[in-house]
Amino acid sequence: MPPPGPHPTATAAGPRLVEGRGDLSCALVEALRSGGTPRYRTASVLKADPWGEDLQLALYLLYELHYRGFDGVADEREWDPELLRLRRALESRFLHALRGELTDAPHTAADAFAPLLVEPVDLSGSLSRHLETAGKPWQLREYAALRSLYHLKEADPHLWVVPRLTGRAKAAMVAIEYDEFGAGRAERIHARLFADLMADLGLDTAYGRYLDHAPAPLLATVNLMSLFGLHRALRGALVGHFACVEVTSSPGSRRLANAMRRCGAGAAAEHFYAEHVEADAVHEQVVRRDVIGGLLADEPELEGDIAFGCAATILLEDRLADHIREAWDQDRSAMRAMRRPLTDRRPGRQETAGSAVT
């Protein structure tokens, strides 16, 4: 007889599962498809590269169960003890690697954010600067496709910190998130605005559509938010991550709006970044004064975690930028397993990336 309680339901509207990239992710994908327990060796976890494709994909798939799930995977798997056990082991590897890379990072919020408040003189390594001045249309589309894994769930991971804050920090966080979610208007939700941007660029706007093509450095940037968001113990780090994004967003968004305009990407493509130039300039002040300031007033012992969250964000964004620029400098795609170029799918527009696809 079936056990009492609600019948397991499978998500029908979620993204499709992708193929694994190693022992751990393959075992996980098979378990999600079959409804069984993931079969992997403990040694596989201990030996897994914390920055590698296998671990980062497995961690992303496990985290995604807390967002929209996957087509054909029962919603109840979100809290499956065996999946949570695997997630915990992978998180430990990832978090240990992050801390190991950041032993010399600042330990105070002031020291962590001070360098971010001044526009760098040398922007030679900046992706937004490259796209603004020399980026090709296929590179704009590739950048948008990669970033869609975050922007189509924009602000969602940061909401997890709200019930873990009090007073001034909570009120300020909710005020910023209210803007991120369109201030009560569905068509103004930032994730919706990014989908409009993707449509202008001729990209598929389906949630999770480009997961199979996302390399490990990109997955790591999205996994970082979920790692911080799902653990109350890391609430300070999530605030540090959120503040880092808001503080650094406005100048980069201005350059990306210019890039969209220069390449004739379309009004919606330009608007997404233009919106962030103004909104995030305001958010920067609120997040530093009230979110961080309020949290430190309530829980001063979390200052080191706030600094760590900021430093970890910069670390992973730099690793991703290095990955993308290395590929683009060789006129090839930074995406995984692309069988054909990310051409513009709009009627009447035919552009090929030539040798830009691996």
Domain count across the chain: 2
Give the residue with greater pLDDT, 14 vs 331: 331
What's the number of CA atoms in the CB half-sphere (13 Å) around residue 14? 20
14 pLDDT band, cuts 50/70/90, is confident
| Position 283 pLDDT exceeds 90 | no
Q: Looking at the domain assignment, is residue 46 inside a domain?
A: yes
Residues 154 and 258 in one domain: yes
For 35-166, where are the alpha helices, taking DSSP H only? 42-47, 53-64, 81-101, 109-113, 127-133, 137-151, 156-159
Task: Provide the pLDDT for residue 357.
Answer: 27
Residue 228 belongs to domain spanning: 109-356
6 pLDDT band, cuts 50/70/90, is very low
Task: Provide the pLDDT for residue 4.
Answer: 43
Q: Looking at the domain assignment, is residue 280 inside a domain?
A: yes
Q: Looking at the domain assignment, is residue 8 inside a domain?
A: no
Contacts of 337 (CB under 8 A, 6+ apart): 212, 213, 358
Domain boundary (101, 121, 152) is at 101
Q: Which residue has the tokens 């480009």?
A: 210
Task: Provide the pLDDT for residue 249.
Answer: 85
Contacts of 22 (CB under 8 A, 6+ apart): 48, 52, 53, 54, 55, 57
Residues 223 and 258 in one domain: yes
Residues 162 and 236 in one domain: yes
Give the residue with greater pLDDT, 309 vs 275: 309
How many other C-beta atoms are found inside a 10 Å radius of the C-beta of residue 109? Answer: 25
For 204-235, the pLDDT digits (tens) are 999 999 999 999 999 999 999 999 999 999 99
- Assign residue 170 the CATH number of its domain: 1.20.910.10
Q: Exposed, middle or buried, 12 (CB in 10 Å: 0-12/13-18/19+)? A: exposed
Tokens of 244: 């880092």
282 pLDDT band, cuts 50/70/90, is confident
For 94-127, the pLDDT digits (tens) are 999 999 999 999 999 999 999 888 776 567 778 9
Residues 199 and 292 in one domain: yes
Which pTM was predicted? 0.91
| Position 350 pLDDT exceeds 70 | no
How many other C-beta atoms are found inside a 10 Å radius of the C-beta of residue 105? Answer: 18
| Position 68 pLDDT exceeds 90 | yes
For 148-177, the pLDDT digits (tens) are 999 999 889 999 999 999 999 999 999 999
User: Which range among 73-77, 119-123, 347-351 has the greatest average pLDDT?
Assistant: 73-77
Q: What percent of the chain has pLDDT over 90?
A: 78
* 8 A C-beta contact, residue 97 and residue 50: yes
Domain boundary (55, 71, 101) is at 101
Q: Which helix (H) or strand (E) holds 171?
A: helix 167-180
355 pLDDT band, cuts 50/70/90, is very low
Q: What percent of the chain has pLDDT over 70?
A: 89
Residues 177 and 273 in one domain: yes
Residues 127 and 65 in one domain: no
Residues 283 and 318 in one domain: yes
Mean pLDDT of the region 268-273: 90
Task: Provide the pLDDT for residue 251.
Answer: 87
| Position 78 pLDDT exceeds 50 | yes
Q: Which of 223, 58, 214, 212 has the alpha carbon at shortest distance from 146?
A: 214
Residues 92 and 120 in one domain: no
Residues 215 and 314 in one domain: yes
Residues 126 and 77 in one domain: no
Task: Provide the pLDDT for residue 3.
Answer: 42
Q: What are phi and psi of 74, to 5 degrees?
A: -60, 135
Mean pLDDT of the region 5-24: 76
Task: Provide the pLDDT for residue 195.
Answer: 95
Task: Provide the pLDDT for residue 276.
Answer: 81
Task: Provide the pLDDT for residue 332.
Answer: 92
